[in-house]
Amino acid sequence: MPSLEGKVLFITGASRGIGKAIALRAARDGAKIVIAAKTAEPHPKLPGTIFTAAQEIEAAGGKALPLMVDIRSEEQIAQAVAKTVETFGGIDICVNNASAISLTGTLETPMKRFDLMHSINMRGTFATSQACLPHLLLAKNPHILNLSPPLNMSPKWFQNHVAYTMAKYGMSMCVLGMAAEFKEQGVAVNALWPRTTIATAAINMVGGEEMMRQSRKPEIIADAAHSILTSDSRTCTGNFFIDEDVLRAHGVTDFEQYAMEKGVEPLPDYFLD
């Protein structure tokens, strides 16, 4: 089985949800993981901190470096990248997972919320990739993986939440551009998106317990990400992967194992026809 043993992963938003699931899957291989996230103190509504995530990563067999990072700040990103290289000697993989969501129409989206989504989703992804790239260019089999959707210009994905769609598609445009820009240097840049809703704090905020019940566990994304991140960076780049398709290509047929509730049909996610 391909392994991430010894690889250094810089993961934004890894204190909970999908980011933490990707970290834990890599930890089982013996990877070194940087948890670059904002939550250092327990949040009243959101589970986990960078320190509790670090404990889980270490318990799973990995090495963890919890760093409090607001990816809206390029200075904090630069400091975190420098600390990563000082601690682990380099960076092999950058996972841009941190994201902000507001499924609101144009008149219902305050500019403060617009700026938050664009600062974290698009700008944060660009800034984190930019800071990691000098080290990725020195790595063997380097990867950037953005948790963002395929680019789909159908108006239906814009009309109800244009600000959010633009922010997420900004992450996807980073994939489109950077994959071509760094192809010759051998840095893979790919996107990964779920076929169905995933049981995270964001989904709980959008649809509550009922939507959580009809979602899949974050582990499906983690398993798909593992397959992508262990692939050859020179041949596997510029793709907009869907979690279920990745796993089917690797022989997985039982998707019930990822269901939050057995026998419940999972809800389709946004941006997929």
Catalytic residues: 164
Helix axes 17-27, 219-229, angle to 10 degrees: 50
Residue with tokens 């020179």: 234
Q: Could you give the CA distance from residue 135 to residue 91 in angstroms, rounded to a whole number?
A: 6
- The rounded radius of gyration (Å) of the Cα atoms in the chain is 17
Shortest CA distance to 214 belongs to which of 269, 253, 168, 169? Answer: 269
| 3-class DSSP state of 53 | helix
- Measured from the Cβ of residue 103, the count of other Cβ atoms closer than 10 Å reads 16
Taking alpha carbons only, the member of 27, 6, 15 closest to residue 225 is 27
Tell me the H-state helices in the chain.
17-27, 50-59, 74-88, 111-117, 124-136, 162-181, 201-213, 219-229, 243-249
